[in-house]
């Protein structure tokens, strides 16, 4: 939850950072660096986290990530210049990458064996997604609360991120005691130890160097096709443009015409709440209608919303406003919109969020948890997560440049085009995994998935 709360906090803080540092308003690259540097650092942090989890254990990985969160928050809160904010954001990004790797491991390792049925598994993954969305909602709530605490509003917003890491994690045995009956704790501890030993033996048989670990699964047609599907859904998840909304939501609200920072943050809080609602919808219906169908339907509706979502289009014919922005070299115009239809941008944004969350928000993680053979689940999930972070970086780094070059409405139209391409990719390469045992999924991949051919009885 903390990881994704950071996304919302920076989006609100940027409204006030632009006021204190004029260079951030006038230099697109600086604005872009503040937002995107954490994502780039998260890619490195994920790689470091994978090594630390195997070499030093989960607990030390979590403590290291917490330390990075705390240091990063303090550096950002005390930053005398924009480049110091970037440095603090790098610390946070490294922690984000490490924590994201460890959280997924804990979900799989700490779950009772009885949870490994379709309904409970989807509920477990869905709850993780719901907590992520709640973290984003909480971040916008924090932003809204600190709007009444001048001076240094953005410093409070960023500095409060240093509080959660101060709370220490429980030991593994204490956590297990909350999950299992007392008589099963020792049994589960032994099973965890045996599982770790088996994983270490499997890694030793493959080899210690990275090339050996990658060469073994790539020679397996089932793993290759599973990776193709798993990476595809993660890349599409980002290229539909969701993180431009998460990182820049209050700024987009201003661009849509709501000049007040408090109103912009309040509307952003509503969109974050819709994100939570969408995740609950996913938990209720993804096991009934299927993963593939949920993604396809939600992308189609989201594509329509993006095609008609045009924040700032109402300013296009306002010559005086255009001259003001060009004369001052401003990327954002936040003085309000003359159009009476400005509310439509917010309605369409809300529609996009509430259909994104149950489809592309949650389902890609479910697919990646189900589609890989057990032996290669960690490697496959890790490669898909790296693809997700890399795509996240590309989208967040290019958004401002695209907005500057094409205009905001054309930029979101471009994301609609990416959504259409993503829709085709999902139709062609992603099989349905709903209700299928792992053996049947492997058989489907081995035979070669045919999107318009065979259909399992679960569909």
pLDDT value of residue 98: 80
pLDDT value of residue 30: 72
pLDDT value of residue 220: 75
ω into residue 339 within 30 of 0, thus cis? no
Cα dihedral across residues 218, 222, 225, 231: positive or negative: negative
Query: Which stretches of the chain drop beneath a pLDDT of 50?
Result: 116-117, 168-172, 312-335, 338, 455-459
Q: Which residues make Cβ contacts (< 8 Å) with residue 104, sequence separation at least 6?
A: 381, 385
Structure tokens at 13: 């803080």
Would you call 87 exposed, middle or buried from its count of C-beta atoms within 10 A (0-12, 13-18, 19+)?
middle
Rounded Cα gap, residues 34 and 322, in angstroms: 26
pLDDT value of residue 459: 46
Would you call 177 exposed, middle or buried from its count of C-beta atoms within 10 A (0-12, 13-18, 19+)?
middle
DSSP label of 357: I
- Location of structure tokens 């209700």: 435
Domain locations in the chain as residue ranges: 2-169+207-447
Homologous superfamily (CATH) of 2-169+207-447 is MFS general substrate transporter like domains (1.20.1250.20)
**The pTM is what?**
0.70
Structure tokens at 353: 């969020």
Would you call 173 exposed, middle or buried from its count of C-beta atoms within 10 A (0-12, 13-18, 19+)?
exposed
pLDDT value of residue 329: 44
Q: What is the pLDDT of residues 254-311, one digit of tens each?
A: 666 666 667 667 777 777 788 888 888 888 888 888 889 999 999 999 888 888 765 5
What are the C-alpha distances in Å from 77 to residues 53, 158, 160, 371? 30, 6, 8, 42
Question: How many CB atoms within 10 Å of residue 339?
Answer: 16
- Select from 405, 155, 411, 445 the least CA-distant residue to 306: 411
Rounded Cα gap, residues 197 and 208, in angstroms: 15
What are the C-alpha distances in Å from 278 to residues 249, 284, 307, 426? 17, 10, 20, 20
Q: What is the pLDDT of residues 189-232, one digit of tens each?
A: 566 566 555 655 655 555 555 555 556 566 678 888 888 999 99
List phi, psi (to 5°) of 330.
-100, 140
What interhelical angle do 438-447 and 221-239 show, nearest 10? Answer: 100
């Amino acid at each position: 939850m903390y990881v994704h709360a950071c996304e919302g906090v920076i989006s609100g803080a940027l409204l006030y950072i632009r006021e204190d540092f004029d260079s951030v308003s006038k230099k697109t690259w600086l604005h872009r660096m503040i937002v995107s540097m954490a994502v780039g650092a998260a890619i490195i942090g994920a790689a470091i986290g994978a090594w630390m989890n195997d070499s030093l254990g989960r607990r030390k990985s979590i403590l290291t990530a917490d330390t990075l969160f705390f240091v990063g928050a303090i550096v950002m809160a005390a930053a005398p210049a924009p480049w110091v904010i970037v440095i603090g954001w790098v610390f946070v990004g490294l922690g984000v990458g490490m924590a994201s790797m460890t959280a997924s491991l804990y979900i799989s390792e700490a779950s009772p064996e009885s949870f490994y049925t379709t309904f409970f598994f989807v509920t477990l993954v869905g709850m993780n997604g719901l907590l992520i969305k709640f973290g984003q909602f909480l971040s916008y709530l924090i932003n809204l609360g600190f709007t009444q605490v001048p001076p240094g509003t953005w410093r409070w917003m960023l500095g409060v991120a240093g509080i959660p890491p101060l709370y220490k994690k429980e030991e593994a045995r204490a956590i297990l005691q909350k999950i299992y009956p007392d008589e099963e704790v020792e049994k589960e501890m032994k099973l965890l130890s045996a599982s770790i030993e088996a994983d270490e033996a499997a890694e030793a048989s493959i080899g210690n160097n990275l090339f050996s670990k990658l060469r073994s699964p790539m020679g397996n047609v089932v793993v290759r096709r599973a990776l193709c599907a798993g990476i595809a859904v993660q890349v599409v998840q980002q290229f539909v443009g969701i993180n431009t909304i998460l990182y820049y939501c209050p700024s987009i609200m201003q661009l849509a015409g709501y000049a007040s920072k408090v109103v912009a943050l309040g509307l952003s809080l509503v969109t974050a709440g819709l994100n939570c609602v969408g995740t609950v919808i996913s938990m209720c219906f993804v096991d009934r209608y299927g993963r593939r169908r949920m993604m396809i339907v939600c992308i189609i509706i989201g594509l329509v919303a993006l095609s008609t979502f045009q924040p700032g289009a109402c300013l296009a014919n306002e010559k005086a406003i255009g001259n003001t922005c060009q004369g001052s070299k401003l990327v954002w115009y936040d003085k309000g919109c003359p159009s009476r239809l400005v509310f439509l941008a917010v309605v369409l944004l809300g529609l996009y969020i509430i259909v994104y969350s149950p489809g592309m928000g949650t389902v890609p993680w479910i697919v990646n948890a189900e589609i890989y053979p057990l032996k290669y689940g960690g490697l496959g999930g890790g490669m898909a997560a790296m693809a997700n972070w890399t795509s996240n970086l590309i989208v967040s780094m290019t958004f401002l440049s695209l907005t500057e070059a094409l205009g905001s409405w054309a930029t979101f139209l471009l994301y609609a085009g990416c959504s259409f391409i993503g829709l085709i990719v999902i139709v062609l390469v992603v099989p349905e995994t709903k209700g299928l045992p792992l053996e049947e999924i492997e058989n489907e991949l081995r035979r070669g998935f045919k999107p318009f051919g065979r259909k399992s009885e679960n569909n």
